[in-house]
Chain A
Amino acid sequence: MRLNIIGLLFGIAFGGVLAASNLHEYDTIHAMLRLDEFDVFWFMASAIAVSAPLLYLLERRGMNTPFGGELSLSRSMPEKHHLQGGALFGIGWAIAGTCPAPALVMVSSGAMLGLVAIPGIFLGLHLRERQQQSDQHVGDGEHRMAVTSDR
């Protein structure tokens, strides 16, 4: 229950930042990928520049999180599926001009073609899941699906 509220709040904050930065607009992503405008690259780089050192320090201190045990970062070595998936993702990202989180904000901003993008993303994820017979690789980057229940 409490974790659900936390999930909702983090979703709202993330969606809010994406909307405030206009990352839900096709035109913003398209201008970025055309290399006309570098704001989104700086946006991503500054998010990493802030989070990476903090995560490093917190992990070293062995911080205990209220819902997920000891804070642990996961690192893995690149495999073939990372490069194949990344390559396909990039092509789709360039054509659709959106990615999973901004597509939701696109709809809340009134842009109705977001209602075309979202089912497409669901379909793509589903096709892979069916092919694999398991969702082993499907997740959030360095993923972990361990936290399933609340306590």
Chain B
Amino acid sequence: MFDVLPDRLAWYVGGPILGLLIVGLFVVANQPLGASGAYVQTSGLIRRRSDIVVWRVWYFVGLFVGGLLVTQVFREGAEIRSGYDAMRDVFPLWATIPLVFGGATLLGYGAAVAGGCTSGHGMCGTAQRSPASMAVTATFMATAILTTFVLRIATGGDL
């Protein structure tokens, strides 16, 4: 709408801001700035469980709203599209959908087994100097890079 933000914020601006947000949530509520927990609480709300952490659901909504503000209000505004451009260049839509769904299911399951994801373990856990979080982070970085390499080989270098 207003187009005041650059196309992409430089990492040396975005990264430190995120670091301050991580500190901020600890300072205010002594809680990590994770994301999978917010999914767990939101799915608890959908299934009408009574023991959910309500503020994590608001946080879940906030993530969506924050993305909306940046991409649609402070930038020119993005139109409805499929996304996944690099994958769509290689695979048709009928193959992209199960790949994305299957990958997402696997990462959700893995996050639940590990007890956190890129934000909870990768950034907040590592920032707390937790050996478990560092082990999770090293493991998922390694398997992700390896998987990307395998996909690249399997598609003849296209993906």
A interface residues with partner B (beta carbon < 8 Å): 3-22, 24-27, 30-31, 33-35, 39-40, 42-52, 54-56, 58, 63, 65-79, 81-101, 103-114, 116-129, 135, 137-145, 147-148, 150
Contact = CB atoms under 8 A, between A and B. Distances in A.
B103 A6 contact: no
15 contacts: A18-B63, A26-B83, A47-B19, A50-B19, A83-B139, A86-B137, A88-B106, A92-B109, A100-B117, A108-B66, A116-B101, A117-B103, A117-B104, A127-B109, A135-B40
Interface residues of B, number: 122
Given A20-B5, A113-B96, A97 B87 contact: yes
B148 A33 contact: yes
Given A44-B15, A71-B26, A112 B110 contact: no
A10 B32 CA distance: 11
A90 B149 CA distance: 12
A67 to B, nearest CB: 4
Contacts of A101: 35, 63, 117-119
Interface string B61-88: 1111111111110000011111111110
